[in-house]
Chain A
Amino acid sequence: MKMKKYIVKYALGLLIGFGTLVSSCDLNVDPRQSIDASQALDTPDGVEAAVNSVYARLRQTTNYGRNLLALSDALADVGRTTSNSGRLIQENNNQPNAHFNSIPGSGLSFWQNSYFAINEANLILDAISTGVTGASAAQLARWEGELKFLRALYYFDLVKVYAYIPTAIYQPGVVDEGGVPMPLEGSITSDIAFTRNSPRSTIQQNYTQIVADLNDAIRLLGTSSRAGVQFASVGAAQGLLARVYLYMGQWQNAVTASTAALASNAGTVLSGQAYIDGWRASIHPESMFEVRFQIAGESIGVNESLQSSYTVLLNLSNKNAQGGWGDFVPNQTVLNFFGLAPRQIGEPATNNNNWDVTRNSDVRAHLYTTGSTVRGARNIECIKFISKAGFAYGDNVPVIRKSEMRLIRAEANYQLGNTGDALTELNAFKGLRGLPAVTLTGEAILEEILLERFKEFAFEGHRFFDLKRYGRSIDKRYLAGGSIINFDDFRILPPLPQREVDGNVNLNQNRGY
């Protein structure tokens, strides 16, 4: 009996002991690939890494990875689609809803990625405003400067896409629904995340904030900035400011800012063969700011990269190698700009290396050549983005090229009535591109400047917004079944993401959606 008692005691002791052991086990498991948000921005290294992520979001397909260039130009009158992969057809046809918005299942949308980036920037700005232990004054200034440049760039891209541009607002306050929501405070708690229903700011408020951020950036980056055009710099901020003033119609400010930008050490304006070579270099020498694709692992890939969107070629050394899709190619207007036509340069004709194009004296004609028959018919394609960094589908993307400053200054001077300065600047620019000077007066000067912008920035995403800021229609009659999309058409603006409108009582959808 005694034995039994011992056994019971022993067993129960064991059990209770084990039970206690188990229940006293710490249930908490900490992740090893992440850290708590509350500690993330406590150190200088943490802040630096967080700033990098804001840059990195520019790389997304939804932003400079593709859409701000290829999708913009597909909406405009720059090219036609080849149907090779079926991409960009709807956008090129200006089908309702085929615009800067997310197609369900396609991942991040332009709106989402941009606001995520802005929130990250706001969180860091909030953190550094209360000080970061161990950070120098120069670091604090540089971070703030870079973040304000980035926030300005993201907001500028958002407002130019989702709202009318100050120089051409269609029926202000009637059809126009204003600018974009503009939160300036970071959201990291469920309180803000659940309750902040930001309304659309006015277009004016958006632009005022963008200008303020850029002026801050110019001031702060003047004290400290990182080397390299992949980072924000004084010159980059001045360049962006010039473009913003151009969109605002503040012509004098545009002249001032573009002049300052041209005087900065960011980028070089190139001419002749150097210009052609510039497009073959990994880092474009003209870039005042460009989005960096550092390694092959960061490439956008064969489906949606700029290279793949524009050309079927893998590289220029062998045109028979299968590359991307070549979904979007120049239309006849662009071909005519540069005198482009297919030209057989060797035998046999079946070898794609035996084909090139005819060109006129415009050096930019060298940015086009024939593709291959790997994906179907051999088209003339734009080769501005073609494995320049040494790997496929990951070309660095120039956001602001210094050449643009000259065209901005010419246009702003024209608008200020300084037609002489405008024409001089225009002709000097034409000279850089191998074109003869022109003698023009009045509105013809503006038209010639806009035409030069068209040629210079074809396949770089400017054309749609150049038409939009002058309230001009988009002539798509060159497409089968195409028509003219007038400025009063609702398709000039994209729909705001429906989920945002559904979830935010203060957010008004654009007309027609």
Chain B
Amino acid sequence: MRKVLLLGLAFLFAAASAFAQGRVVTGKVTSGEDGLPIPGASVIVKGTTIGTATDLDGNFSLNVPQDNNVLVISFVGSVTQEVNVGNRSQINVVLQPDTRSLEEVIVTGYGTQPKREVTGAVSSVKGEAIKNLPMQSFDRALQGRAAGVQVRSANGLPGGAVNIRIRGVGSVTAGNEPLFIVDGVQLNNQGNASFTQANPLAFLNPNDIESMEILKDAASAAIYGSQAANGVVIITTKKGKQGKARFEFNAFGGETQPMKFLDVLNGPEWYAMRRDGLRNTGNTAPEANALLAMGRRPDNFATLSAAELDAIGLGLPSYDWQREVMGRGRLQNYELNVSGGDDKTTFFVSGSYDYQESSFRPVDFERGTFRTNLSHKANDRLTLETSLNLATVTQNTPFSIDGSFLGNPAFSASTVLPHNAIRNEDGSFNTAIAGVLNQNIALVNEFNSGRTTTNSIVGNTSATYKILDNLVYRGLVGVDYRLIIENRYRDPRTPDGAGVRGRATAANDWRTRFITTHTVNWNKSFNNVHNLTALAGFEFVSETREGLNAEAIGFPTFQFRYIDSGATPEFVGGFWTGYRRQGAFVNANYNYKEKYLFTATARYDGSSRFGANTQYGIFPSVRAGWNIAMEDFLKDSETVTDLKLRASWGRAGNDQIGNFAARGLYGAPTAGNYAGNAGIRPTSLANLNLGWETNETINIGLDYGFFGNRVSGSVDLFDQRTKDLLLDQPILWTNGFSSISNNVGELMNKGIEVEINTINIDRGGFQWRTAFNFTYIRNEIVRLYDGLEFLPANPGIAVGQPVGNPAFPGQNAPGSWFVAEYAGVNPATGRPMWYDINRNLTYLPIAADRVYFGSNLAPYYGGFNNTFSYKGFELTAFFTYEYGAIVSDGQYNFLRESGTRLALNGLRDVVDRQWTNPGDMTDIPRNVGNFNGGNELRSQGRNFGSAALLKADFIRLAQVQLGYTFNPATLRSLGLTRARVYAQGVNLWTYSDYPGYDPEFVGAGTGQVPIVKSYQIGVQLGF
């Protein structure tokens, strides 16, 4: 990147040589970072204007006057070196990279800025940090990398959805998704979760990323106006560098493994549990009834004694269903890229192949990508650039993404009764499965099939034209085009397909997003102390989505699996939706001697989603910064290298609501058809005044660097208020509707972010660096409407309480847990008890007894990275952590019932804890078998209230990598410029007392594929 800029110098010096008498000195400039030649580095004779620039191979040749003996070699981003020539005529120079972080250039809204001039809250993650992680989308890899950015994998599906929240949850009903921009193209990041999760960001090979900038405060993001309320993530991909073509080959392979198997009961244990439970309720034949529940009661049971029945039950076999259907998965990744260019044209071309299997076969992810980035300087005023990303992703789909479906292996593996054999003696699948889960999920998994293919083109072309030396126009046209095709087949040999003789479903979803952006940049410096830059622009975005889907049943045989073979079409469906947005924006920066920095921006934005009266909104911001380190009293300080105080206020908008949420409409849903005739019905109420939800943030930050930046980082305090919340205001059902979108209420996210980077040891070639970040956010509803303390239809949304984290785009934020507090079991009887409103114990809490228990949104989170390097070796250990989330885990809830409500398996730990004798002090009630649906009479269920809420705190070793980089000198003979080998493990260790599969998930947690751990080895070669 840094090497691209210096063409100008080359021209400047080209004419300057060849005057004076002297000797010719030749040499080569290479980079100390990667050993590669540096083209375009400047070589000047000290104290003169004589100089040259290195060619594409880093070579230079310069006439040095006799009386001058010192050369100054400099290059952007490198430490300038002075070399005494002496008598030499051949000089090789190695330029070391300049690691002073504040020299970094940060990509901001519609431009770039040196980091020392940035006055907003912006986190930057380099592509290098997330390189070669076995993750299919870059959002997943952001976890723990930047303060204020909270990332949770929705589940363990490779290429599945990722939940990313920048500075908390800022909206209840409207979306909480940040705006993703790849090389100027704003993406459609809506998933389509009909069959599997095709993460829309998985189109991009994460290794093609140069850097990611996260604009966190409203002031930084405000230039993106209406879409910026949830923060903005700007992704810059790798560009070509001037010089001869460089090839880079990169490959890794390995395997994934389940992180955890749940410790469930075996066959005899389940029998004993049910028998004892029935005995507790006075059942007269507990042995026979327990066997009946397991489908193992002999026909002559009436003639058998209790002891004989017991012998049958306690002699039942046990099978490990989890280890049958959850297993190892392969992962592999290959990529090749080539980059280079001359003084007019640079290119970067890459291709990649990525494959990963999930722990639940046959679910997988397979991706091929092809990327081209081209830049051409047509003349000294006009530069043309284009970047194009083609990707195809194919996933074998799971039975379902989540849910307590009988055929869902992720649900059933731990809950099916353990005495059921997986296979018969002849090796065929056992189809006589006893218990409520009566499907052989191994069979279901084997016979069903489904595939989702996503083809995408994301690209742009832009022209930059220098109208004047300080006035630049840039126009960009971009497109984000996706086609998702899905096919699924329920095999007639499986229970779900048997009744209908096979069911095939097909669906597709086309999305087209068009964007065009036009900006004019102007800058001027007055007296070298007043520096002024300004930018003005227009932008237009249009998006449409449409799709078709169909289902057919009645297939001749299981070999016919495509939808056209079905005898009876069950339904055809389709959809069309779209919206448009346009805006104009301005930005002005002023600084005085780079010491005092001021920025103001404003955007005027309109969106078709809003009511006719309120389509447009204005989004202003102001920022100020003070580079204290540049003041005279600190200028020469050894201790303080960098110190910058910044403050900002801004307003950004959120338009992530339904495309037609403001309209009063009649639709024709299939549910309205009757007796073969089409039906129409009202689907929404009009709100002509529906307008923007705005996010106003005050941010105060400090960037610091001490001891030559051996300690550096930043601290940010922020108070973010979401006003005029787009809330679904409940409407009485008696008035014919459920809710209407309205702008009411206020939500607060107040917090602190800390980033600390240190070089702990740097001695004798050994270096130990750490990067630590921490975030605390207090999320709270400040106000609702009409003085209400809570939403009538959803009392978890209450003033003074946090909201929860919505699992997927389009879902409303859940409220806090508002339930009766569990008081454990009555030691005398084993009945579960709760506290009523007066803190008295009760068996039957009522609505009035509910209290708040926090939400599933963790207020504390962050990451901690350690890098140790010695000679060519490098060891990285990266941890992430979360604290304070309260969750309800559907899978655990089913298991916690210990088979009392339904004949499902339970956890050994829970059963061991259950009340058995008077005096037992425990939280698990007496087992009552399946008597009264598993509950005590006149009592709430055992999972009622807060009984089954869990703390989802964890610390995880998210990545550990040991790598070795070969010495470039030894590689040269092999024709290589770079070679590195490494071994890596992901999610190898988690510290948590969580009783379910994993504390990291979103949504209900029932039947979701848990996150996996993985091991891999890899090689990177440059030539």
Contact = CB atoms under 8 A, between A and B. Distances in A.
Contact of A296 (B568, B792, B844, B902): B568
Contacts of B578: 29
Q: Which of A50, A323, A498 has the most CB of B within 10 A?
A: A50
Contact of B792 (A50, A59, A503): A503
A26 to B, nearest CB: 8
B670 interface: yes
Given A37-B666, A53-B681, A188-B685, A194 B584 contact: no
Q: Which of A12, A198, A292, A376 has the most CB of B within 10 A?
A: A376
A56 B687 contact: no
A90 B933 contact: yes
Nearest to B736: A119
A321 B495 CA distance: 9
Interface in B435-488: 436, 438, 465, 467-468, 471, 473, 475
Interface in B674-694: 674-683, 685-687
B734 A181 contact: yes
Nearest to B677: A52
A11 B734 contact: no
A113 B906 CA distance: 37
Given A7-B467, A22-B538, A48-B677, A56 B737 contact: no
B582 interface: yes
Contact of A23 (B575, B582, B671, B677): B582
A40 B666 contact: yes
Interface string B19-33: 000000000000000
Given A7-B467, A37-B682, A392-B500, A198 B734 contact: yes
Given A36-B665, A38-B664, A115-B733, A123 B682 contact: yes
Interface in A391-417: 391-392
Contacts of B538: 18-19, 22-23
Interface string A487-510: 000000000011110111000000
A183 B434 CA distance: 51
Nearest to B295: A376
Q: Which of B495, B732, B844, B931 has the most CB of A within 10 A?
A: B732
Contacts of A323: 499
B681 A33 contact: no
Contacts of A230: 674-675
A52 B678 contact: yes
A86 B675 contact: no
Given A22-B540, A56-B679, A322-B499, A4 B468 contact: yes
B884 to A, nearest CB: 25
Nearest to A503: B792
Nearest to B680: A49
A324 to B, nearest CB: 9
Contact of A8 (B295, B468, B498, B932): B468
A15 B518 contact: yes
A115 B734 contact: yes
Interface in A28-82: 28-29, 31-38, 40, 46, 48-50, 52-53, 55-56, 59-60
A198 B680 CA distance: 26
Contact of A321 (B498, B659, B673, B931): B498
B114 interface: no
A116 B733 CA distance: 7
A499 B792 contact: yes
Nearest to B553: A296
Given A27-B580, A294-B673, A374-B438, A22 B666 contact: no
Q: Which of A4, A31, A60 has the most CB of B within 10 A?
A: A31
Contacts of B738: 112
B279 to A, nearest CB: 14
Contacts of B606: 27
A51 to B, nearest CB: 8
Contacts of B495: 322
B735 A53 contact: no
Interface in A330-347: none
Contacts of B663: 31, 34, 36
Nearest to A297: B571
Contacts of A119: 682, 735-737
B672 interface: yes
Given A29-B578, A56-B679, A115 B736 contact: yes
B607 interface: yes
A176 B753 CA distance: 59
A27 B734 contact: no
A321 B675 contact: no
B930 A83 contact: yes
Given A27-B582, A27-B608, A481-B931, A504 B732 contact: yes
Given A33-B668, A56-B671, A376-B295, A93 B735 contact: no
A73 to B, nearest CB: 18
B733 A19 contact: no
A187 interface: yes
B933 A83 contact: yes
B740 interface: yes
A377 B467 contact: no
A120 B735 contact: no
Contacts of A198: 732, 734-735
A84 interface: yes
A111 interface: yes
A19 B902 contact: no
Interface in B938-997: none
B516 interface: yes
B570 interface: yes
A294 B675 contact: yes
A56 B673 contact: yes
A189 interface: yes
Contact of A183 (B576, B665, B671, B735): B735
A87 to B, nearest CB: 10
A503 B732 contact: yes
B735 A193 contact: yes
B252 to A, nearest CB: 43
B706 interface: no
Interface in B222-280: none
Given A23-B582, A85-B436, A314-B499, A50 B736 contact: no
A12 B293 CA distance: 81
Contacts of A391: 500
A84 B435 CA distance: 8
Contact of B438 (A8, A294, A375): A375
Contact of B735 (A86, A196, A302, A502): A196
Given A23-B538, A322-B495, A37 B736 contact: no
Q: Which of A7, A29, A35, A109 has the most CB of B within 10 A?
A: A29
Given A31-B659, A34-B660, A193 B518 contact: no
A298 B673 contact: yes
Interface of B: 292-293, 295, 299, 381, 434, 436, 438, 465, 467-468, 471, 473, 475, 495, 498-500, 516, 518, 520, 538-540, 551, 553, 568, 570-571, 575-582, 584, 606-608, 615, 659-660, 663-668, 670-683, 685-687, 730-738, 740, 792-793, 844, 847, 901-903, 930-933, 937
Given A46-B666, A120-B682, 19 more contacts: A11-B465, A27-B607, A29-B608, A31-B577, A34-B665, A35-B666, A49-B668, A85-B902, A86-B901, A115-B735, A115-B736, A194-B731, A198-B735, A294-B675, A295-B571, A296-B570, A499-B792, A502-B793, A504-B734
5 contacts: A48-B677, A55-B675, A56-B671, A376-B434, A504-B732
Interface of A: 4, 7-8, 11-12, 14-15, 18-19, 22-23, 25, 27-29, 31-38, 40, 46, 48-50, 52-53, 55-56, 59-60, 83-86, 89-90, 93, 96, 109, 111-112, 115-116, 118-120, 122-123, 181, 183, 186-190, 192-194, 196-198, 228, 230-231, 292, 294-298, 302, 314, 321-323, 349, 373-377, 391-392, 480-481, 497-500, 502-504
Q: Which 5 A-B pairs have the closest CB atoms?
A: A119-B736, A53-B679, A40-B666, A52-B679, A53-B672
